[in-house]
Amino acid sequence: MRCIPLAALSVAAILGSPLSVAAQGSRAGAWEAGLSVGATPNLSLAFTRCDFRGAGKLAGRLGYRLARSWHLDVRTEVVRDGGPSTSFACEACFCSFDRGVAPPQVVGPYVIRNGHFAPLRDGSPLWSTSLGSQWTVAERPGHEWRVRAGLGRLWGTRLWAPQVSSSFDWGAGPLRATFELGLWHYTVQRTDVETSFFDGQIVSQTTSGVPVHETTFFFDLGLTIRSVRER
């Protein structure tokens, strides 16, 4: 039975150590603002070309420290890669943008599988605005580790995207460098269209809606400036 209190004290010590250090950090009431650039290797096919799903990102952030280890922030982010074309060929749900559907054969049966994501995009950048809460996991002089949970709106898509991230700040004084790993989760609607031809004439056409669940991860590097308050 002695192992149970000992294990409980060990867990409390492990969890309490970073929190006690965080409590020694900056007091509540400090403002901060940041700019960052980032990238993703797996943006949704609804927003990018099938042959290259990478995209760049530019982000701005405004935050406020509500308590010693609790922060609230608002972010605006723009993701840009050139955008998809409006036509893609789909075979067994492996789609390739920028390859329009081939015309049907003049003689004999022929099936074309095509479709689109809804809503259709014209290649403009993908904008997101999110509200989130950050918690300081550990803090040392010149270093801070935070985790964040938030909810973002992807404008022009009618989509909401829950977001989670982990960030590391380092530097002395009010100006610090920030590195962050983040995840966006969202669901896009894909419409598959299958058209059957015979001797070049349409025989039948069927459509089906398919929800596609996506998780996109980002790498961000930026600068954060903080207001200085007396402890």
Gyration radius from the chain CA atoms = 24
The answer to whether the CB of 6 falls within 8 A of the CB of 25 is no
At 10 the pLDDT is 42
- DSSP for residue 125: P
Assessment of whether the complete model's pTM goes beyond 0.85: no
At 148 the pLDDT is 98
> Ramachandran region of residue 41, left (φ > 0), alpha (ψ -120 to 50) or beta?
alpha
User: Which structural domains are found in the chain, ordered by start?
Assistant: 3-226 (2.40.160)
At 20 the pLDDT is 36
The CA dihedral of 129, 134, 140, 142, to the nearest 10 degrees, is 10
At 121 the pLDDT is 61
Q: How many CB atoms lie within 10 A of CB 62?
A: 13
pLDDT, averaged in runs of 10, over the chain (231 residues): 41 38 55 95 78 86 92 94 50 44 77 74 79 94 94 90 96 92 93 85 88 94 81 44
The helix/strand/coil state of 54 is coil
